[in-house]
Chain A
Amino acid sequence: MNETEKLILGEYIRDYSVSDISYKVMGKMLDEDYVERRLKMFDINEMYIYGGSYMAVQLYRIGGKFTVVRDIVDKSGQIVLNNLVPVITLDEFRKKYNGEKVIIASIRFFQEIREELKLFVNSNDIIGIGELLLGIA
């Protein structure tokens, strides 16, 4: 297999992994007790959720029962279920942000979003949704 073919295969594996993890994360969020335990484990009293995906909406609904969700942040202010949850843009978030935890509710774009957030959010306060629900604190 040449390098280009390896890269193509790598992309397929990445896509597969995104789907696999997204499925697991969505599944975990069906268990309210589990989500409550995980939020406690990461010592999250208030948080922003970054991402306009179904995962973000689900975390907003479940996580909001156990901690203060300041807002859902979406870069362009667009979100899959826009009419059901409040959402702010990245610029609005930058102005409002005051040291809370930020959960990145995107598996696919985690790295890109984290780099963007690191410009004004402490790295230790940025947590991936996979890490929050499946990782260790």
Chain B
Amino acid sequence: MLYVNYTNLYENCNVGIKKKILAQCSTFMKKFGTVYYTMFAGQTMYLFYEDKILEKEFALTRKMCNEAIAKWIVKYHIKRLYIRYALSDMFFLDFLEELKKMSIKSVLEFPTIPYDGEGGIIRPIEDKYYREQLHKYINCCTTYANFETVFGIPCITLVNGVDIEEQKKKEYRKKDGTVVLLAVASLAKWHGYERVIQGMKNYISEGGERNIIFNIAGFGGQLNYYKSIVDEYKLSEHVIFHGQLSGAELDAVYDDSDIAVGSLGFYKINLRSGSPIKLGEYCARGIPFVYGYDDISFREPPYFSYQVSNDATPLDMEKVLDFYDMMYDGKNFIKDMRQYALSNLTWDAILQPVIDYLS
């Protein structure tokens, strides 16, 4: 089997994508044996197996990328493809048509649907025109939102999987009168953490007496914006920017926080639902969370989650504190959260319908 990916998995901004692709490959390997994957960087298409480069081909254009992949499909006797979608053009359709002629069973994954509001789409008209023809060559797609079909292709809804082993179980933080919020993210506009900062400002200005701290672990495009409003609202003693953390440092921040914050700005990219990996990671760690969209990993919002509106409203901190009080009343929610993640959020469980289709 071959997992077709056109992004550079070695770029810092693609760390999450790489993790996800390797985890998906690992699940496919359990069923189909050898699973290769591709990536593109520096005008070169690479073929990998277990993190080692097997082949590389100069590829100046998308067409040349697909020609390299087609060559490897023949050379390595590939029978199944899982393709991570990277926009449509005429040459991508030609590639899919060729796969169909070769009787290769293929599944197309749309990492985000709809994606029209996202940045980085250089030729949207070209994609909009050609994506409507994908259904002629592809009979099954996947995405992380509730759709029966996408561009006329029958769709399997996925949620983002979590590696339970990698997510260290959180320790309960000793109660000390302070409520500590935590966001671990790449700080993009759809995270919408200004809603938390504005909510804290409102809470304090309205005479709120409890001490609230907001830990932000991550680095990204919105960092300077968040810093500027923290300065403007004079909240620098309440909002702590930790930068990007990993390993023991990240574990320590989780242990030292009470409530995690998921995405609160999906409305900015015209999304109502999705399955970003972060809530799954919060769940596996065992930290209750607040989020602001319909998360398909948690169709019936469990008791350890608190869903707020998907708009620009500042968070109502009184309600967040009520949620904190409800969670930290002595119940052992960490155990429940770990169990929920094990039963619902592993890739083996999530990809089973895809494996059934490809079998």
Say yes or no: A135-B41 contact (C-beta < 8 A), given A21-B60, A107-B60: yes
Residues of B within 8 A of A114 (CB): 58
Say which one of B42-50, B242-250, B251-259 lies at the interface with A. Answer: B42-50
Contact check, B90 vs A136: say whether CB atoms are below 8 A apart. Answer: no
Measured between alpha carbons, how far is A133 from B44 in the docked complex, in Å? 11
| B-side interface residues, number (CB < 8 Å) | 15
Counting CB contacts under 8 A, is B224 at the interface?
A: no
Measured between alpha carbons, how far is A34 from B142 in the docked complex, in Å? 38
Residues of A within 8 A of B60 (CB): 14, 17-18, 21, 107, 110
Say which one of A62-70, A89-97, A124-132 lies at the interface with B. Answer: A124-132
Say yes or no: A6-B90 contact (C-beta < 8 A), given A14-B61, A111-B58: yes
CB contact between B43 and one of A6, A9, A10, A128 (< 8 Å): that residue: A128
Bitwise, B8-19 to A at CB < 8 A (1) or not (0) is 101000000000
Measured between alpha carbons, how far is A4 from B21 in the docked complex, in Å? 37
Measured between alpha carbons, how far is A54 from B43 in the docked complex, in Å? 19
Counting CB contacts under 8 A, is B63 at the interface?
A: yes
Counting CB contacts under 8 A, is A1 at the interface?
A: yes
Residues of A within 8 A of B62 (CB): 13
Say yes or no: A13-B63 contact (C-beta < 8 A), given A114-B58, A136-B10: yes
CB contact between B44 and one of A10, A13, A131 (< 8 Å): that residue: A131
Bitwise, A1-33 to B at CB < 8 A (1) or not (0) is 100001001100110011001000000000000
Residues of B within 8 A of A132 (CB): 42
Measured between alpha carbons, how far is A74 from B151 in the docked complex, in Å? 50
A103-137 interface (Cβ within 8 A of B): 107, 110-111, 114, 128, 130-136
Nearest chain B CB to A118 CB, angstrom units? 13
Contact check, B42 vs A128: say whether CB atoms are below 8 A apart. Answer: yes
Contact check, B44 vs A130: say whether CB atoms are below 8 A apart. Answer: yes
Contact check, B43 vs A130: say whether CB atoms are below 8 A apart. Answer: yes
Measured between alpha carbons, how far is A18 from B60 in the docked complex, in Å? 7
* 13 residue pairs from A and B, CB less than 8 Å apart: A9-B90, A10-B63, A10-B91, A17-B61, A21-B60, A107-B60, A110-B60, A128-B43, A130-B42, A131-B42, A134-B41, A134-B42, A135-B42
Given A17-B61, A136-B8, list of 7 further CB < 8 A pairs?
Answer: A10-B63, A13-B61, A130-B42, A133-B42, A135-B42, A136-B10, A136-B42
Leading 8 A-B pairs by shortest Cβ distance: A135-B42, A134-B42, A130-B43, A131-B42, A135-B41, A130-B42, A135-B44, A17-B60
By a beta-carbon cutoff of 8 Å, the part of chain B in contact with chain A is 8, 10, 41-44, 46, 53, 58, 60-63, 90-91
